[in-house]
Amino acid sequence: MEQIRRIKREILARGAITTYCRDTMLLPDGKTADWDLVDHNGAAAIVAVHEDGRLILVRQYRNALERETIEIPAGGLNRNPDGSKEDTKLAALRELKEETGYEAQDAELLLSIYTTVAFCNEKIDIYLATGLKRHGAQHLDEDEYVNVEYYTLEALQKKIFACEIQDAKTVAGILAYAAKNN
């Protein structure tokens, strides 16, 4: 296939976590097309396994869906003082602590996903956390309202296949964890 390349990027809007762009693309036949892009800094998520084998998830309201969702702990990458992106493992561990009050002795990369490749470059590294210890209370952002919940792997798989859990990072993380443990 001949190369498709961007010849122009116009920033249409900047939000708190994304930038909305219009890219003008040069196509193999010499024509151009305008494509939308949602530019995202990236995120990290964590499948947290309690010592009793249950997984720790969070329930929170999501404006885009206008309802509550059940998700693995996750959050966007912060910027370091030098402008570089925060390490994804550190971000995943930070989110686990902030959203659930748990710390992990260890975390290993389980998988990486791109959430919506047709128009968004958001990449989420998903970690597996073990050796959890309760650290204390949640440390939520001012606009976060998060409930901590515990589920068996089997219960979560049933919820996924009943379409009760539809969040991509959560589905991917739980199913990857299940495959790893088979």
pLDDT tens across 52-106, in order? 999 999 999 888 889 999 999 999 998 888 878 889 999 999 999 989 999 998 8
Phi-psi bin for 12: left (phi > 0), alpha (psi -120 to 50), beta? alpha
Please name the residue that has the structure tokens 């929170």: 60
CA 70/CA 51 separation, integer angstroms: 20
Is the pLDDT assigned to residue 144 strictly greater than 90? no
Q: Which helix (H) or strand (E) holds 3?
A: none
pLDDT band at 8 (very low <50, low <70, confident <90, very high): very high
Contact 113, 169 (CB under 8 A): yes
Q: Average pLDDT of 134-162? A: 84
Q: Which helix (H) or strand (E) holds 176?
A: helix 168-180
Is the pLDDT assigned to residue 178 strictly greater than 80? yes
Q: Average pLDDT of 155-166? A: 97
CA 57/CA 127 separation, integer angstroms: 14
Is the pLDDT assigned to residue 139 strictly greater than 80? no
**21 or 144, which is more confident:** 21
CA 173/CA 160 separation, integer angstroms: 11
Cα radius of gyration rounded to whole Å, the chain: 18
Catalytic pick among 10, 142, 144, 164: 142
| Phi, psi torsion values for 154, nearest 5 degrees | -60, -40
For residues 116 and 161, state if they share a domain: yes
For residues 16 and 84, state if they share a domain: no
> Structurally, how many domains does the chain consist of?
2
For residues 171 and 133, state if they share a domain: yes
Please name the residue that has the structure tokens 């249950």: 54
Tell me if residue 68 is catalytic: no
Q: Average pLDDT of 134-143? A: 69
pLDDT at 138: 59
CA 66/CA 110 separation, integer angstroms: 29
Average pLDDT along the chain: 92
For residues 60 and 84, state if they share a domain: yes
What is the crossing angle of helices 153-161 and 168-180, to 10°?
130
pLDDT at 145: 73
For residues 106 and 124, state if they share a domain: yes
Contact 129, 107 (CB under 8 A): yes
Contact 86, 79 (CB under 8 A): yes
pLDDT at 147: 84
For residues 23 and 101, state if they share a domain: no
Percent of the chain with pLDDT strictly greater than 90: 77
Q: Which domain holds residue 10?
A: 5-39
Contact 122, 114 (CB under 8 A): yes
pLDDT at 141: 63
